[in-house]
Amino acid sequence: MARLNWGLIGGGEGSQIGPAHRLGAAVDGAFAFAAGALDHNAEAGRAFGRKLGLAADRSYGNWHEMLEGERARPDRIDLVTVATPNATHFEITKAFLEAGFHVLCEKPMTITVEEGEEIVRLSRATGRICAVNYGYTGYALVRHMRAMVARGDLGRIRLVVAEFAHGHHADAGDADNPRVRWRYDPAQAGVSAQFADCGIHALHMASFVTGQEVTRLSADTVSCIPSRVLEDDAMVNFRMDGGAVGRLWTSSVAIGRQHGLTLQVFGETGGLRWAQEQPNQLYWMPLRGRLQVIERGEAGLSPEADRASRVTMGHAEGMPLAFANIYRDLAEAILAQKEGRAANPAADLYPRAEDGLRSMAAIYAVAESGKAEGRWVDARPPMFR
C-alpha cells in the first residue's frame, strides 16, 4: 500500500478533535502524518508538531505558511484536515482546494449557504475532493442500513425518525459558563445552536441512509433555558425528495440522555432502528416477521458493512473506528484518482461538499421556520432547487 501524506490544521495540544483525527488517519496506516499547523499560537503549534514527530520544516506556525510550504514540495501532503474554529473553515478549505489539495473539513463546512455553494463549485471545478466530517456515517451498521435501503429490503421508504438528544447543557446554573454560553449566542454561533451542533448529524444521516435529500421542513425551536437566544431544543418535520416523511428531535436539555443519536427508518416492507450508544447492533423487523438483531461483523452483511468492520463480531467497535472509516474512504478515493481508476464503491461513502452545503441550507431553514411559527420552508440550497 502506497502511503499517503497527511496534514492537519488545528487540533492543538489539549484539543479533543486533534487526537481523534490523528487516530482516525493513523489506524490503517494509509496516511503518514507529515505536516501540521496545529495551533493559533505559532510557537505552541510548531512545538507540538515536533513533539508529535513532524519534521521541523513541516511543523508550521500557521496555515498560510503550511500552504506555501507544502505546495512547493514534491512530497506534498495528499490530504489536509481542517479542524480549526468554525468561522475559518471556509477560508482555509477554499485556499487549499484552489492550491490543488484534497481537503477533509470539519463540520460546519462554512458559515453561510453562499460560501457552501462556492466550495461545491470549487471542488467540482478543481476535481479535488472536499469531504465533510459527518463521522457517524462511518459506523459499519449505519452503512449497512444504507445498503439495505438501497437494495430494497425496506421497499419504498415511508418514514424516517431521528433523534439526537443529550442533557449536557441542562444546568441553568452553568449556562453562563463561557464554554457553554457561546453556543447559544448568535454572535458566536450563527443562526442555530443545538440543531446546528447535533441535529444536523441526524439530518445528514437520514439522507445518508435513505439516499434521499431533504426538500422542505418545518421547525419548532425553543430555548428551555430562558436566557438563551438560540434554541436548546428543536423538533423538525421534513419531507425528502423520494417521498419519505421525516421527524427529528434534538435537545441539549434532556437530562438522562447521554448521546441519543438514534435513527429509525420505516419502509413498506420493514423497519430498522440503530442507536449510536450501542452501535454494534442493528434492529431489523421485516413486515410480517419478527424483530431481529443484526450484529456488526456477522457473516453475510453488505460489502459496505464488511469493509467498515475491523474486529470480530461481539467485540465492540466505537466512534474512533467509525472516524477511521472516513479516512480509509478518503485514502481509497485519493489513490483511485491517482491511479486513474474508479474507487471501490463500498468505500465511496465519505460525505461530500454537497452534503456540507445541504446542511448549511437546512440549518438556515430551521432557523427561518423556527422564527415563523413553524412555517414550511424550502430546505434546499439555491443551486440545487
Name residues contacting a second copy, limited to 194-233 (CB under 8 A).
218, 220, 222, 224, 233
Q: Which stretch binds a second copy (CB under 8 A): 141-149, 167-175, 202-210, 347-355?
A: 167-175
Min separation Cβ 143 and a second copy, Å = 16
Which one of 86, 112, 126, 237 is in contact with a second copy (CB under 8 A)? 237
51 binds a second copy (CB under 8 A): yes
Binding residues among 346-365 for a second copy as defined by CB under 8 A: none
Which one of 285, 336, 346, 383 is in contact with a second copy (CB under 8 A)? 285
Which one of 42, 52, 346, 383 is in contact with a second copy (CB under 8 A)? 52
CA nearest 94: which of 115, 77, 73, 78? 115
50 binds a second copy (CB under 8 A): no
**Can you tell me whether residue 163 is helix, strand or coil?**
strand
Which one of 242, 311, 339, 371 is in contact with a second copy (CB under 8 A)? 311
292-299, long-range: CB within 8 Å, 24+ apart, which pairs?
294/141, 294/144, 296/140, 296/141, 297/140
99 binds a second copy (CB under 8 A): no
Q: Which backbone phi and psi does 297 adopt, to 5 degrees?
A: 95, -5
Which one of 84, 93, 280, 325 is in contact with a second copy (CB under 8 A)? 280
Q: Is the dihedral of CA 3, 85, 38, 202 positive or negative?
A: negative
Crossing angle of the two packed helices 353-371 and 113-126, in degrees rounded to 10? 170
CA nearest 312: which of 302, 299, 325, 323? 299
Torsion of CA 195, 199, 205, 211, to 10 degrees: -50
Which one of 320, 346, 368, 383 is in contact with a second copy (CB under 8 A)? 320
Min separation Cβ 68 and a second copy, Å = 26
Min separation Cβ 185 and a second copy, Å = 20
14 residue type, one letter = G
Which one of 185, 241, 295, 368 is in contact with a second copy (CB under 8 A)? 295
Instruction: Name the pairing type of β-strands 260-267 and 157-165.
Output: antiparallel
249 binds a second copy (CB under 8 A): yes
Burial bucket for residue 367 (CB in 10 Å: 0-12, 13-18, 19+):
buried
Which one of 49, 108, 199, 270 is in contact with a second copy (CB under 8 A)? 270
245 binds a second copy (CB under 8 A): yes
Give dist(CA 260, CA 164) in Å, integer: 5
Measured from the CB atom, the residue of 17 and 383 that comes closer to a second copy is 17
Give dist(CA 372, CA 375) in Å, integer: 6
Are 335 and 4 in contact, with CB atoms under 8 Å apart? yes
Measured from the CB atom, the residue of 76 and 257 that comes closer to a second copy is 257
Which one of 14, 53, 152, 186 is in contact with a second copy (CB under 8 A)? 53
Min separation Cβ 19 and a second copy, Å = 7
